[in-house]
Each structure stands twice: as C-alpha cells, then as structure tokens.
C-alpha cells in the first residue's frame, strides 16, 4: 500500500493503484471535523433523553391518560418518519452543514413548545405540535449526521462510526442526568427544556464551523449556487434504491436496528411480564443491556479495523441469536443476565457498520445518497419495530414476539457479506 502521513496532513488514496484521490486535509482539520460530528451525535442524544425523562411531568400537568401519552408520542414518531423522508431533499437543497443547523434548530423549537405546552400553558395540541417538530428535526439529523460521520471516517481512515453512535448514548446519559437534577431541584419543564434548546442551538452553530464544505454534498459558501443542481442530486439520491448490494446492507441494518429498538421499548417489560420479576429488576436488566451495547460501540472500531466488517458482523449476529435465545428461554436469573449482555453486544455495531459499508464507494456524492438510504431503513426499523412487537406481544405473549427479532438477526448474519470492504486500504490519521 502506498501511503503518506505526517503530523499535519493525510492523503486519501484511490482504490486503483494508490494515486491521490483528493487534496490532503490538515490533520488538525480532520480531527476537528471528527470532534464536531461527535458533538452533533451527542446533541441528538441529549435532546431525546431530555424529552423522554420528563414525560411523567407532561402527563401529570396536562392530565393525559396512559393511552393519551401513547397517542401524543405518536405525533413525535410521525414527525420522525417525515424527517427521514425529507432528509435527502434537505441535503440536496441545502447541504449537510446548513441542514444540520436547520433541523437541530427545529428540534430546539419543538422542545420549547413541549415545555410550554406541558407546564406553564398546559395544552395537549401545543405538546403535539412540539413533538412533531422535535421528531422531524431528529429524524432528519439522524440521516445527516450519519452521512457526515461516514465522510469523516473515510478521510481519517479509521473505523469511527461505532464510537460516533456511542456519543449518542453519552448524550442520552447526560440528558437523563440533567433531567433528573432539574426534577429534584423543582425546575419547571419549561425552563429545563428551554435551556436545553438554547444549548443545542449554540453548540450546533459552533460545531458545524469545523465541518468541511464539500460541494458534492450540496454545501456551498455564502450564497453561491452549488456546481451540481440540487434536483440532480435528489434524483441521484433516489436512484440508489435500485442497488441490490445496498439493499442487503439494509437487511443487516434492519435486523440489528430491530433488535436494538425492540430492546429499548420491550426488554424491561419482557423481564416483568414474561419472566415475572418486579419492575426494579426489569429496569436493572435494561441497564445491563445499554451498558453492554455502549461498551461494544466504544471498543468496536479497533476490532473492525483488525478483522474486517464481514466476520465481525457474522460473529455479532451469532452472538445476538445466542443472547436472544438465552433471554427468551431462560429459566435462571444468570441466563437472563448473560442473554441480555449478548443481545446488547450482538446488535451494537450493525447500524454504524452499515453506514460505513454504504459509504464505501469512490463517488462521494453517491456515497452520501447510499448512507441516506440505509439510514432511512435503519431508523424506520427503530420506529416501526416496537409497535409491531407490541401487536404480536398482545396476541402471543411478549417473549414469543421477541422470536421475530431472533429471525431478523439470522437474516442480518446471512446478509453480512454485502458489507465487505470495497475501496481498498485507506489513509490513516492518528488521533
């Protein structure tokens, strides 16, 4: 492999003989870019946990029933689906830099609406409007930050997507902690969410300054027109859905995302209703799952660089199948705990690795469209999977419903070869 590296720059290589594929970026700029993407993932997680942790307050102050809370949350889910659908158009029209600022501002406005409608001016319609805006912004930024993360990972030359997704988890931990502190101090949800909204707006404006301008992704300085018309970029974005290999990568992400989303919504309840433990044990077991998944994401990058995507995904799919089997059919507490750990580890890297695999083409404009497509598949699995499991759980029992996840994990392992590295060795930058 032909490679050049010094303390200040890195030269990306093409897959056809080591010729320079693009101009070098200074190492300092690359690492600032990486840190900016980390920050955006963190902000998305922070916003999500800030709302979720205050749901009981909103319920009490607005007088909602449990069913009413579910219907209100549906507004956020609908907004998220619209955001996922709109993300390719927004990126094509405005670029990822401007797009990320715009949609995170939308998230912040939504939080303010939720805070006002959930406390000082109790209003269910105001809360619903806020959640639609909140969901739309988070759905869109989920796609955009993964496109940006895949680009940063490629130029840096190290597997970083798992760690980027771990920063989302760090954001949820911070958001939950701040919400708990606000509740303990008697701070109203209006003030709490307004402060979080201002923090998100200020932080994203600062972070995006360190994201490079790339015309192939629709970014352009000042008010100059981009070199490729946005309608053409949108057509290219939609055309990637005809790529069979990309759809198989989508199968990997579907299975892994379904496993993660299903655990987020149903694991604790399955411990209580399926295995007949109390709610405290259910919460503790869910904590075991989140810790296992986050740890695997923090540690996953070097493992992927050492062994490659396909064997790692296949081992993880097998790990997830074993873990789910132990969880579903366990008769002892230790089997339940071990199964939960293996379940968390098994589904931990599918989403970020799928993003990296989708971006692994030489045409960078095409890479962004591919990442957008598989992100939509993955996030739709997050949104649609849990309600589907709930329907099955009502009919057949929650543990039997989890067998669907087990089957999808098997399919993810079978489809894993589609994620094989395509463009050869990459230049590397040491952190």
Residues 415 and 367 reside in one and the same domain? yes
Residues in a beta bridge with 13: 20
What pLDDT is recorded for position 15?
39
The most confident of 53-57, 59-63, 341-345, by mean pLDDT: 341-345
Residue-range definition of the domain harbouring residue 328 = 241-421
71-85, 91-105, 404-418: range with lowest mean pLDDT: 71-85
Answer whether residue 220 is part of any domain. no
Q: Is 138 among the domain residues? A: yes
Q: Is the pLDDT of residue 298 over 50?
A: yes
Report whether pLDDT(425) > 50: no
Predicted local confidence at residue 252, as pLDDT: 92
Has residue 431 been placed in a domain? no
Residues 152 and 249 in one domain: no
> What are the backbone angles phi and psi of residue 62, rounded to the nearest 5°?
-100, -10
Q: Is 63 helix (H, G, I), strand (E, B) or coil?
A: coil
Domain finish residue from 196, 214, 232? 214
Residues 328 and 192 in one domain: no
Judge if 95 and 49 occupy the same domain.
Answer: yes
Q: Are residues 251 and 359 in the same domain?
A: yes
Highest mean pLDDT among 78-82, 99-103, 278-282: 99-103
Q: Are residues 283 and 374 in the same domain?
A: yes
pLDDT tens profile 9-25? 443 433 333 333 445 67
- pLDDT, one tens digit per residue, over 257-273 is 888 888 877 787 788 88
Contact criterion met (CB below 8 Å) for 44 and 171 = yes
Predicted local distance difference test score (pLDDT) of residue 8: 41
For residues 183 and 262, state if they share a domain: no
Confirm whether 32 is domain-assigned.
yes
Q: What is the mean pLDDT of the chain?
A: 82
Alpha-carbon distance 292 to 288, whole Å?
6
For range 394-421, the mean pLDDT? 89
Asked if residue 71 belongs to a domain, the reply is yes
73 located within any domain: yes
Question: What H or E segment, with its residue span, contains residue 26?
Answer: strand 25-26
3-state class of 25 per DSSP?
strand
Q: What is the pLDDT of residue 230?
A: 61
pLDDT for 13:
39
pLDDT at 234: 67
Domain final position from 172, 195, 214 = 214
What is the rounded CA–CA span in Å between residue 123 and residue 61? 9
Q: Which of 150-154, 225-229, 262-266 has the lowest mean pLDDT?
A: 225-229
CATH number for the domain including 329?
1.20.1250.20
Same domain, 80 and 206: yes
In sequence order, the 6+-apart residues with CB closer than 8 A to the CB of 83 are 103, 135, 136, 137, 138, 139, 140, 141, 142, 143
pLDDT at 427: 47
3-state secondary structure of 348: coil
The reply to whether 132 and 192 lie within a common domain is yes
118 and 247 share a domain?
Answer: no
User: Would 232 be classed as within a structural domain?
Assistant: no
For 94-131, b/e burial (b = at least 16 CB within 10 A) is bbbbbbbbbbbbbbbbbbbbbbbbbbeebebebbbbbb
Say if residue 203 is in the same domain as residue 283.
no
Please tell me the predicted confidence (pLDDT) of residue 204. Answer: 96
The reported pLDDT for the residue numbered 12 is 40
- Strongest mean pLDDT among 64-68, 118-122, 244-248: 244-248
Give me the number of domains the chain comprises: 2
pLDDT of residue 261: 80
Q: Which one is predicted more confidently, 67 or 371?
A: 371
For residue 327, pLDDT over 90 is answered with: yes
Place 47 in a pLDDT band, splitting at 50, 70 and 90.
Answer: very high
33 part of a folded domain: yes
Considering the domain architecture, whether residues 208 and 263 belong to the same structural domain is answered as no
Specify whether the backbone of 113 is left (phi greater than 0), alpha (psi in -120 to 50) or beta: alpha
């Amino acid at each position: 492999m032909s490679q050049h590296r010094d303390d200040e720059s890195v030269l990306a290589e093409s897959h056809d003989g080591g010729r320079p594929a693009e101009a070098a970026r200074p190492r300092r700029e690359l690492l600032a870019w990486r840190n900016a993407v980390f920050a955006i993932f963190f902000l998305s997680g922070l916003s999500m946990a800030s709302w979720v942790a205050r749901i009981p307050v909103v319920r009490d102050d607005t007088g909602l029933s449990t069913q009413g809370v579910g219907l209100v949350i549906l507004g956020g889910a609908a907004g998220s689906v619209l955001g996922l659908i709109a993300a390719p158009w927004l990126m094509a029209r405005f670029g990822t830099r401007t797009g990320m600022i715009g949609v995170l501002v939308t998230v912040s406005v939504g939080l303010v609406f939720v805070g006002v409608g959930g406390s000082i001016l109790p209003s269910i319609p105001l809360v619903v409007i806020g959640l639609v805006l909140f969901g739309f912004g988070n759905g869109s930024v989920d796609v955009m930050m993964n496109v940006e993360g895949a680009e940063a990972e490629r130029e840096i030359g190290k597997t970083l997507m798992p760690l980027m997704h771990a920063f989302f988890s760090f954001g949820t931990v911070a958001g939950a902690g701040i919400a708990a502190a606000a509740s303990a101090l008697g701070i109203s949800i209006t003030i709490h969410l307004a402060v979080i909204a201002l923090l998100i707006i200020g932080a994203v404006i600062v972070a995006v300054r360190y994201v490079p301008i790339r015309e192939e992704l629709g970014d352009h300085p000042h008010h100059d027109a981009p070199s490729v018309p946005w309608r053409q970029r949108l057509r290219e974005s939609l055309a990637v859905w005809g790529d069979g290999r990309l759809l198989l990568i989508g199968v990997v992400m579907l299975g892994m995302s379904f496993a993660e989303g299903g655990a987020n919504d149903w694991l604790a309840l399955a411990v209580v209703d399926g295995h007949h433990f109390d709610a405290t044990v259910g919460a503790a077991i869910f904590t075991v799952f989140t810790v296992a998944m986050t740890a695997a994401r923090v540690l996953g990058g070097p493992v992927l660089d050492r062994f490659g995507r396909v064997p790692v995904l296949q081992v993880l799919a097998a790990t997830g199948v074993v873990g789910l089997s132990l969880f579903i059919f366990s008769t002892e507490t230790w089997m339940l705990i071990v199964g939960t750990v293996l379940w968390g580890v098994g589904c931990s890297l599918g989403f970020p690795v799928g993003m990296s695999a989708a971006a692994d083409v030489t045409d960078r404009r095409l890479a962004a469209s591919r990442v957008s497509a598989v992100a939509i598949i993955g996030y739709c699995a997050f949104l649609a999977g849990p309600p589907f499991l709930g329907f099955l759980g009502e009919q057949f029992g929650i543990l039997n419903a989890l067998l669907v996840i087990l089957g999808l994990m098997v399919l993810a392992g079978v489809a894993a070869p589609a994620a094989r590295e395509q463009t050869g060795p990459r230049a590397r930058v040491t952190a």
